[in-house]
Structure 1
C-alpha cells in the first residue's frame, strides 16, 4: 500500500494513555446531574469525544489481539475517520480505519447489524480499509450468520463492553472462516 505523506505527519496517540484519562472524565460526567444524552456523549457537540473514546478502545483491543503496539490518529477523510500505525519487524505500517456503531436502542431501535454491514458495500475502492463496529446495545449475535467475506474492505472487527462500567470489553474478528472472540480489561479503568 502506498502511504499518503500526510499520514506520517499526523499526531498518533497511545490508547494506554488516552483511555484512563477519558475513562475518568466519563466517570465524572456519568455521576453528574447532567441530562442522559450528555452523560452518554450523545450530543452533536460531544460527538468528537465519543468517537475518540470508541477509536481509542478499538485501537487498544486490536493491539492486544494482534500483540502489536498500535497508535491512532483521528482524522476526517472521505472513506475513513482514523489512521492506525504500528511497527512490525522495524517497518512502520499504516491502516485507514472507519468506525461504525450499532447504536443503543434508545437512540434508534430500528438499526440492525445487517444494515451496518450492508452499508459497507459502498466503499468500493477500500481494499486497505479496516472497519471497527462498536456493538453498543445489549444483544445476542449469532456470528455464524454474519457474512463479511464479500465486502470490499480489508477487515471487519466488532467490539462491545461486557461490564456495565465499561472496564471489560470483547473484540470479535475473523481467523480464516471462523469468528474469534477476545476479551480484555481496559488499562486502569
Structure 2
C-alpha cells in the first residue's frame, strides 16, 4: 500500500512538473514571437487562465503564474490580487520584483520566518524601479523611506499622496525592518502564518497598484 501511494505521489509530481515546463516554454516562446504573431501572448494567457480554472475546479489548491506552480490562497485573493499582480510583472523590467515575490511565497509555503521579508524586498524593488524610471532618484537614498519620499514629492507631481506614503513607510517599519537587522539579545521577530499571508498579499496589492500607475 505504501509503495502504491509513493508511486501515485511521484506520478502526480512528474505530471505537474511537465505541465509547469510546458507552460513556461509556451510563455517564453510567445514573448519571442510577439512581434511576428501578435496573438501569441494572448492565446497563451488564455491557456493559463484555463489551467488555473481547471485547478480550482479540481480543488487542487494550486495556481500557475510566470513559470511556476505554487499553492493557491483563497479564490478571491487569487482573482482580485494575485493574478493581476503576476500579469503586470511579466515585463522583464520587473524581473527582480517577480523573483523576490516568488521567493516570498515559496518561503511562506515552507513555513520559513523570512517570507514577509522577501515580500517587502519585492515591494521595495518596485518602488525603486519607478523612482529610477521617472528620473526622481538622486543616488543619496539610504532606504525604502527615501524612495517613497521621491514618489510623494510635490516637486515630482505627487505620484503618491502623503497618506499613501505614510502607509508604505509603516509597512517597511513593521514588516521589513525587524527582519532586516540582527535581533541582538532580543527574541527574533516572528509573524504568525496569518500575518505572513497579510504581508505578502499587501505587498502584491501595492505592487499591482504601483505598476498600473507607472
Q: TM-score, with normalisation over the residues of structure 2?
A: 0.28
- The structure with the largest helix share of the pair is 2
Structure with a larger share of its residues in strand: 1
**Looking at CA atoms only, which structure, 1 or 2, has the larger radius of gyration?**
2
